[in-house]
Structure 1
Amino acid sequence: MDDKLKLAGQAYGKGFTCSQAVFCAYASDMGIDETTACRIMEGFGGGFGGMQEVCGALAAATAIISFYSSEGTPGNGEKRKKVYEKVCRAAEIFQKEYGGITCWEVLHGESPKAFQCGMKVKDTVLIINQILAECPKEKRTEQEMEAW
């Protein structure tokens, strides 16, 4: 876990958005190179393109939790329900900590600015790790286990 916190903090410190910093901390474990990960996640910063909607860090958490929890196949809804439950649990923890899940709520109506969300990046990594730790171990690959 310390590795993920360090990677996310370093990325955020370089000027990446909250969404990029969180997602890139897990990218190599998901088989995605850092440049591709950062390109994918840039538009989620500032609450979806700066619109102050869902926090970019939480959007990244959703992608990461989905990656590790989903089987990536269509189904009868039961599998999807389990992924949704984990995402909702992450959002619930985030909301309790920050009073909402949108940038607007989290930043108390202020516009997003560079380097103002470092703590949210850190806390989101902690939330991801908490949710992933709740995943059944038999569903994790050996590489995923080592990454945590």
Structure 2
Amino acid sequence: MPADAFRMFQLAAQGFCCSQIILILGLDDLGKENPDLIKAMHGLCGGIGRSGKTCGALTGGACLIGLSAGKGSPGESGHLKINAMLKELMNWFEDVHGSIECEGILDQSLDEGNEYPVRCGNIVAATFNKVQEIRAANSEDTESDEEY
């Protein structure tokens, strides 16, 4: 399901950042909530602690792929192509945005107190949609991927 612009705006207005929004949208699609996971995603906001490093939309997208395709318990195995899926996301992201770092993508500071630019919303939507595309393309590769 493509990213819902209104839902994204609503989440941003509630103070959630890019990485958190991607995971909330993914959990919405699964009919789940996980406040602890969303809280943990706060560490990735603004390029990890608002440092401007690796974009939270990208890291959030990687975590969403991991949420549905990663190993989560000792008796479970992750998707056979999880690393290829993550590499595809990262390569796509850099090709589309010219960088994987907030500082390389945005022309404004992400210092504490600054609002996230509108451009971030477009990046989150495109990244969420790409993650959904990657997940769908790999959903039939193993029988154990029930969450796709």
TM-score bin, normalised by smaller chain: 0.7 to 0.9
The TM-score normalised by the length of structure 1 is 0.78
Q: Select the structure that is richer in helix.
A: 1
TM-score (norm 2): 0.78
Q: Give ranges in structure 2 of 5+ residues lacking alignment.
A: none
Q: Distance in 1 between matches of 2:116 and 2:52?
A: 16
2:65 is matched by which residue type in structure 1? I
CA distance, structure 2, for counterparts of residue 107 and residue 115 of structure 1: 10
1:114 matched to which residue of 2?
115
Letter in 2 for 1:85: A
Share of identical aligned residues, percent?
25
By how many angstroms is 1:30 displaced? 7.8
- 1:51 CA displacement: 0.9
Gaps of 5+ in 1: none
Deviation at 1:72, TM superposition (A): 3.5
Q: Which amino acid aligns with 2:124?
A: V
Deviations 1:10-51 (A, max 9, x none): 312333111111111123528442x32331111211100011
Relative distance call for 1:136 and 1:81 in structure 2 (3 A) is closer
* C-alpha distance in structure 1 between counterparts of 2:106 and 2:57, whole Å: 13
Deviations 1:96-126 (A, max 9, x none): 1111101111114x31242311111111111
In the TM superposition, residue 134 of structure 1 has moved relative to its aligned partner by: 1.4
Deviations 1:47-94 (A, max 9, x none): 0001111101111111111122223467xxxx6872221111101111
The root-mean-square deviation of aligned C-alpha atoms, in Å, is 2.6
Aligned to 1:15: 15
Change (3 A) 1:104 1:85: same
